[in-house]
Amino acid sequence: MEKRTLAQIDAEIEETRAALKDVHGTETEVYARIVGYYRAVKHWNKGKRDEFDQRKMFTLEASKEYDITAADQPCVRKAPAKMSAAEPAADLQSVTYEMYTRQTCPNCPPVKDFMSELDMPGRAIDVDTKEGLAEAAKKGVFASPTVIFYNEAGVETARCHNVEELEAVFNKVKVTA
């Protein structure tokens, strides 16, 4: 076995470093389901790619937040533990909401009417404005109407897109709280 000098070892290290700087891997092609079939993500349009980037992977722990026991109602987040069926009016004052709507949205008026009948603090956000659109993007709102409910700690407890889902949430609050 030949003995190497320190200079030879340093030279080999520099050669290896130079070779590592010039390493080029191969592109990995990712396939995902889009509109019923699998297709390479690189061939998707910009909107679908952005949507794909914002997807979250299913985890069992995260799924425990949702109540899936009622087969006839949409899957909604469980009501916060502090809400009590004995005092629904008092609890509704501790819940707030944000309602994202558009002027030209045909589905927004029924949701606006439903929310106006509630005695609950909240605010309406018009996503037709630049500020409203930016806020919707921050909250991951992709459709109008969308109503997001927050508990007294400011944690999102439910997200609804129509009157049926709103009714389901309020029925769940009374029953499971």
Q: Contact at 8 Å (CB) between 142 and 118?
A: no
pTM for the whole thing?
0.47
In a shared domain, residues 71 and 30: no
Look up the CATH number of the domain holding residue 97.
3.40.30.10
- Within this chain, do residues 126 and 40 fall inside the same structural domain, yes or no? no
- Beta-carbon contacts of residue 130 (< 8 Å; ≥ 6 apart): none
Q: Over its length of 177 residues, how does the chain's per-residue pLDDT go in tens digits?
A: 678 899 999 999 999 999 888 888 787 888 888 777 888 888 888 888 888 888 777 676 666 665 555 555 555 555 444 333 333 334 556 788 999 999 988 889 999 999 888 888 899 999 999 999 999 998 888 888 999 998 888 888 889 999 888 888 877 544 444
* Bridge pairing between strands 96-101 and 146-150: antiparallel
Domain span at 139: 60-176
Q: Is residue 118 located within the same domain as residue 145? A: yes
Number of structural domains in the chain: 2
Q: Are 146 and 160 in contact (CB under 8 A)?
A: yes
